[in-house]
C-alpha cells in the first residue's frame, strides 16, 4: 500500500499502514493517524459497489443498536475498491453477553414482512439472490440451497448419487419448514466464530456481515459448524429469545448449507461433512 494510494483516502495524516487479518476475501490494513485508528478493506481491481451489501448490513446493525464497525468511507482508488471503517480494539468478554447481542439482533424484523434483502450477496466465490420472497423456504431452498447444488454439480464436486440424496433431503427440508412458522429476522448471515469479537471494554461486537432477513435458526445453525460458541452463548440466547420446538433438528438444514458453501469454495475437503449433514437430515425425516 503506497503513499500515493493512501493519500486519496478521505482521511489525512496517515502515519502507518499495517497489514492485518481480514478474512480470505479482502486485503486488510490497520491505518493510524496522530489522533485515530482505522480499519481498511481493499478488493483489488474491483468496483466500489463490491462492498454495497456489507455496508447495508453494517448500517442495518447500527439502526438495530447492534455493536459493529461503523462505515466511514467507500469508493475506488486506482481501480481498487475500498471500505473504510473505524478500528475496534480487541479484548475479552462473555459468551453470555454475545448470546444476548445475537438474540437482540434477531428481534429486528423486515419492515415489509418479507424474507430477503435490498441487495444480493456477492463475493469472489459465489453470489446469492436476496430478492424479497413471501416464504422462508423459497428464499432458503430455491435461492440458496438449489444454487449451491447447481454449482457443486457443475464443478463435479458432487456426482449423480449426491444429487439424488440432495433431492430427498430437499423434500424433507421443505416439509419441515412448512410446519415451522418463520419470521424475517435481521441476520448476520455468516455467523461463524471468526465474525464476532470482544472489545477492549469487554462488549461483544459483530463483524463482516452478509446480512439479510430470514429465519433466525439460519444464524444459529452456522454457529454450530466450526465452534467458537459455548453453552453460555446458547443459554443466554434462549433466555432472551427462546427457540421453537424442533429447532435442534432444523439446525441441520443450515449446517448443510454452510458445508455446501465451503465445499463449493474449498473443494472436496468438506464434501464428507456435507454428506454427513444430509444423512442426519434424512435420519429425522
Instruction: Tell whether 67 and 99 lie within a shared domain.
Output: no
pLDDT bucket at 26, cuts 50 / 70 / 90: confident
Question: From CA 22, how far away is CA 44, in angstroms rounded?
Answer: 14
Query: Which one is catalytic: 35, 97, 175, 190?
Result: 190
What average pLDDT score do residues 182-203 get?
A: 96
What average pLDDT score do residues 17-33 get?
A: 84
Length reported for the chain: 285
> Of 46-55, 171-180, 186-195, 209-218, which gets the smallest average pLDDT?
46-55
The answer to whether 246 and 261 are in contact (CB under 8 A) is no
Q: Are strands 127-128 and 185-187 parallel, antiparallel or unpaired?
A: unpaired
Question: From CA 252, how far away is CA 194, in angstroms rounded?
Answer: 20
What is each CA distance from 176 to 135, 215, 241, 256, in whole angstroms? 13, 13, 21, 15
193 pLDDT above the threshold of 80: yes
84 pLDDT above the threshold of 70: yes
Instruction: Tell whether 183 and 215 lie within a shared domain.
Output: yes
Instruction: Tell whether 159 and 273 lie within a shared domain.
Output: yes
Instruction: Tell whether 79 and 111 lie within a shared domain.
Output: no
Looking at residue 126, its pLDDT comes to: 79
pLDDT bucket at 25, cuts 50 / 70 / 90: confident
Q: Which helix (H) or strand (E) holds 54?
A: helix 52-63
Instruction: Tell whether 61 and 117 lie within a shared domain.
Output: no
Instruction: Tell whether 148 and 36 lie within a shared domain.
Output: no
Looking at residue 22, its pLDDT comes to: 63
Instruction: Tell whether 74 and 185 lie within a shared domain.
Output: no
pLDDT in tens, 128-163: 999 999 999 999 999 999 999 999 999 999 999 999
Instruction: Tell whether 25 and 116 lie within a shared domain.
Output: no
Instruction: Tell whether 161 and 266 lie within a shared domain.
Output: yes
∠ CA 137-142-143, rounded to 5°: 105
C-alpha grid cell, residue 140: 432458503
Proportion of the chain above pLDDT 90, given as a percent: 91
Instruction: Tell whether 82 and 144 lie within a shared domain.
Output: no
Residue with the three cell numbers 458432487: 158
Instruction: Tell whether 166 and 208 lie within a shared domain.
Output: yes
Rounded to the nearest integer, the mean pLDDT of the chain is 94
The answer to whether 158 and 264 are in contact (CB under 8 A) is no
What average pLDDT score do residues 249-269 get?
A: 96
Domain count, the chain: 2
Is 163 known to be catalytic?
no
Instruction: Check which CATH number belongs to the domain holding 42 and give it.
Output: 3.30.200.20
Range of the domain at 132: 95-283
pLDDT in tens, 223-245: 999 999 999 999 999 999 999 99
Amino acid at each position: 500500500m503506497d503513499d500515493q494510494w493512501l493519500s486519496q483516502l478521505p482521511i489525512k495524516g496517515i502515519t502507518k499502514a499495517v497489514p492485518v487479518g481480514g478474512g480470505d476475501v479482502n486485503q486488510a490494513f490497520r491505518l493510524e493517524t496522530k489522533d485515530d485508528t482505522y480499519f481498511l478493506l481493499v478488493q483489488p481491481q474491483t468496483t466500489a459497489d463490491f462492498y454495497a451489501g456489507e455496508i447495508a448490513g453494517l448500517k442495518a446493525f447500527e439502526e438495530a443498536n447492534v455493536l459493529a464497525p461503523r462505515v466511514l468511507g467507500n469508493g475506488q482508488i486506482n481501480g481498487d475498491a475500498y471500505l473504510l471503517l473505524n478500528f475496534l480494539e480487541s479484548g475479552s468478554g462473555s459468551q453470555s453477553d454475545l448470546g444476548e447481542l445475537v438474540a437482540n439482533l434477531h428481534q429486528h424484523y423486515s419492515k415489509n414482512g418479507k424474507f430477503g434483502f435490498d441487495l444480493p450477496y456477492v463475493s469472489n466465490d459465489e453470489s446469492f439472490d436476496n430478492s424479497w420472497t413471501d416464504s422462508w423456504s423459497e428464499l432458503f431452498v430455491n435461492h440458496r440451497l438449489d444454487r449451491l447444488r447447481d454449482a457443486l454439480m457443475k464443478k463435479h464436486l458432487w456426482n449423480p448419487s449426491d444429487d439424488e440424496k440432495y433431492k430427498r433431503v430437499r423434500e424433507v427440508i421443505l416439509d419441515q419448514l412448512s410446519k415451522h412458522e418463520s419470521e424475517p429476522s435481521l441476520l448476520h448471515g455468516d455467523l461463524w466464530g471468526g465474525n464476532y469479537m470482544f472489545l477492549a471494554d469487554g462488549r461483544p461486537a459483530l463483524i463482516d456481515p452478509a446480512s439479510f432477513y430470514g429465519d433466525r435458526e439460519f444464524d444459529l445453525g452456522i454457529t454450530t459448524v466450526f465452534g467458537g460458541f459455548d453453552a453460555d452463548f446458547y443459554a443466554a440466547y434462549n433466555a432472551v429469545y427462546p427457540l421453537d420446538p424442533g429447532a435442534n433438528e432444523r439446525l441441520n438444514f443450515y449446517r448443510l448449507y454452510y458445508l455446501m458453501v465451503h465445499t463449493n469454495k474449498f473443494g472436496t475437503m468438506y464434501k464428507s461433512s456435507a454428506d454427513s449433514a444430509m444423512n442426519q437430515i434424512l435420519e429425522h425425516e
